[in-house]
Amino acid sequence: MRCSSEVIRTLALAAVLFPGASASALDEGRTQWKLANFTWVSRVPAEAGAVANGHPAQVSQAVLQKALGAVVAQVDGADTPLFEPKEAAALAKALEEALAAARPSEDLVLLSTQRRGGHFMDPALAVTARLFVKAGALNLIVHDARLDFMDRYSADRTLPTFAYGSRTAGTAVSLKAEGATNLRSDWLALPLAPVAPAATTLAPTPASALAPGSAASAPQATASAAAKPDQDFYDLQYQRLKALKRLRDENLISEVEYQEKRQAILKTL
**253 lies in a domain?**
no
Task: Please state, in angstroms and as integers, the Cα–Cα distance from residue 5 to each residue in 12, 18, 164, following that order.
Answer: 10, 20, 24
**67 lies in a domain?**
yes
**164 lies in a domain?**
yes
Mean pLDDT, residues 210-218:
46
Mean pLDDT, residues 250-269:
82
From the number of C-beta atoms within 10 Å of its C-beta (0-12, 13-18, 19+), residue 47 rates as middle
Q: Is the pLDDT of residue 79 over 80?
A: yes
Phi, psi of 239 (to 5 degrees): -65, -35
* CB contact at 8 A, 183 and 194: no
**243 lies in a domain?**
no
**5 lies in a domain?**
no
How many domains is the chain partitioned into structurally? 1
* Residue bearing the bigger pLDDT, 44 or 28: 44
Q: pLDDT tens for residues 237-247?
A: 777 888 778 88
What pTM was computed for the model? 0.64
Q: Which domain holds residue 118?
A: 31-193
Mean pLDDT, residues 180-198:
82
Q: What is the pLDDT of residue 253?
A: 84
